[in-house]
A and B are shown apart, each in its own frame.
Chain A
Amino acid sequence: MSARAHLAQAQADLVRALGTGAPVPAGFDPGRVEAAARALLDKRRRLVAKTWPSLVTGLGATFATRFDAWARLHPMTVEPRPLVDGRAFVESLRAEGPLPPDVARARLAFDIRWRPAQEGEVRARRGPMLLVRREGAARQILVALRLPGGHIRMWP
């Protein structure tokens, strides 16, 4: 193996330990590497909580554990992207069962403002739009209307 390939291997082992919970490579202080992984997860969770406050109110005490479990399976990209992270996390919650009403409303409010763009990014929507959904255990009807000029109305 060339010297560069050795370096690539060592860097890959470290990245796997940080991002996916693989064993910490020999020679590193495992406690320190784990502290670094935890610090990043905390930052990522804090930004999502700030961008999606309904997740914190809707999921209560289980928010942190459920988010952390999801985040470990979905390593982040270059920078924390709380809009994208939050939206993907909500989708994973929805696959597990009915969303709490606040979270369902937040998901609708997000989708009337943002559209998926390339490379996992989101872009602000333009122009009028109507979204109607049945959500939650009660299959409640939720409506969001985006008016020309970007004003948004939601019912209920």
Chain B
Amino acid sequence: MSIPGLQGVGIGWRRELAHVIDRMPDLGFIEVLAEHLPPAGPVPTPLLRLRERGVPIVLHAVSLGLGSAEPPSPKRLEWLARLAERLGAVCISEHLAFVRAAGIESGHLLPVPRSDLMLEVLEENIHLAQAALPVPLALENVASLFEWPDPAFPEAELLRAVLTRTRASLLLDVANLYSHVLNHGTDADAVLDIVPRERLAYVHVAGGVRHDGLYHDTHAHPVPEGPLRLLGALAARLGPVPVMLERDDHFPPEDVLLAELASLRDAVARGAGPRVTATHEAHP
């Protein structure tokens, strides 16, 4: 489902950006990394302040591994559920990825093989997660430099099948999609075409860099034109969509960051066309 309360342009909350985020005008929502929060005890003060301001909070996790052959750990699900309650999160987002196997942590968000068996496992894992979580679950397409051999279907079909088989929403990362267009020749239009507005939670945009012929989704470089074009193309299909910037490192000065957020807003407005104006007039 689309997530009530999520709209406009948001940003991934990071300690290094706390002061800048605190005084950001027109902040649509923030996304907080679950693994960066203390597992118990009080919510960090800057987050409480944002919550008091009425800024919706999304809890974003990387460690569940819903794409693992093994089911998600009840302990991790419990931890995430309690965090979401403490934060008052409007939704929890995770990845269509696995992160560990045979007891070894990979440190990566690893892509899943595109096979019917994987879809069955994903469906079961996602149902288990949803049953344990107090708020809606959104799932994100990941960026990977490599693919599994012999995929049975393209990426668009993987996302479509997950949306068909489960009640999860989609967190569409257009930077990850852009990296797959460049690195694997993924059909971006086919992916954008399978996203129903009522199943889109929100959109991620991040920067990256080309290195040795590969596009790396670093979250540490400026956002290139490519992801913004995909964001515009999505807005052209669906109208205004909630979107946020992920920046994890090499934090730019405040004015540069604000300009980057403005470029997200512009891409949505240009893509959605006159519809945006109509909405603004209806709700000034």
A-B contact pairs, 9 of them (CB 8 A): A10-B113, A11-B69, A11-B110, A12-B104, A14-B101, A33-B145, A47-B249, A78-B63, A79-B35
Which residues on the A side are within 8 Å of B68 (C-beta)?
A: 11
The reply to whether B99 and A33 form a contact with Cβ atoms under 8 Å apart is: no
Interface size class of B (residues with CB under 8 A): 35 or more
Q: Is the interface of A mostly helix, strand, loop or mixed?
A: helix
CA distance A27 to B212 in the complex (A): 22
Which residues on the B side are within 8 Å of A36 (C-beta)?
A: 108, 144-146
Which residues of B approach A to under 8 Å, CB–CB? Answer: 33, 35-36, 62-63, 68-70, 98-102, 104-108, 110, 113, 117-118, 121, 144-150, 212, 214, 216, 218, 249
The reply to whether B146 and A32 form a contact with Cβ atoms under 8 Å apart is: yes
- Minimum CB–CB distance from B40 to chain A (whole Å) comes to 11
Closest partner residue, chain B, to A35 (CB atom): B145
Which residues on the B side are within 8 Å of A33 (C-beta)?
A: 145-146
Which residues on the A side are within 8 Å of B212 (C-beta)?
A: 35
- Minimum CB–CB distance from B76 to chain A (whole Å) comes to 10
Closest partner residue, chain B, to A44 (CB atom): B107
Q: Interface residue count for A (Cβ, 8 Å)? A: 36
Closest partner residue, chain B, to A7 (CB atom): B69
Q: List A residues 67-110 near B (Cβ within 8 Å).
A: 75-80
CA distance A44 to B35 in the complex (A): 16
- Minimum CB–CB distance from A83 to chain B (whole Å) comes to 12
- Minimum CB–CB distance from A47 to chain B (whole Å) comes to 7
CA distance A21 to B63 in the complex (A): 22
CA distance A4 to B106 in the complex (A): 19
Closest partner residue, chain A, to B102 (CB atom): A12
Closest partner residue, chain A, to B150 (CB atom): A27
CA distance A19 to B105 in the complex (A): 8
- Minimum CB–CB distance from B56 to chain A (whole Å) comes to 24
Which residues on the A side are within 8 Å of B101 (C-beta)?
A: 8, 11-12, 14-15
A28-B149, A35-B212, A79-B63 as given contacts; A7 in contact with B113, CB under 8 Å: yes
A141 lies within 8 A of chain B by Cβ: no
- Minimum CB–CB distance from A115 to chain B (whole Å) comes to 14
A130 lies within 8 A of chain B by Cβ: no
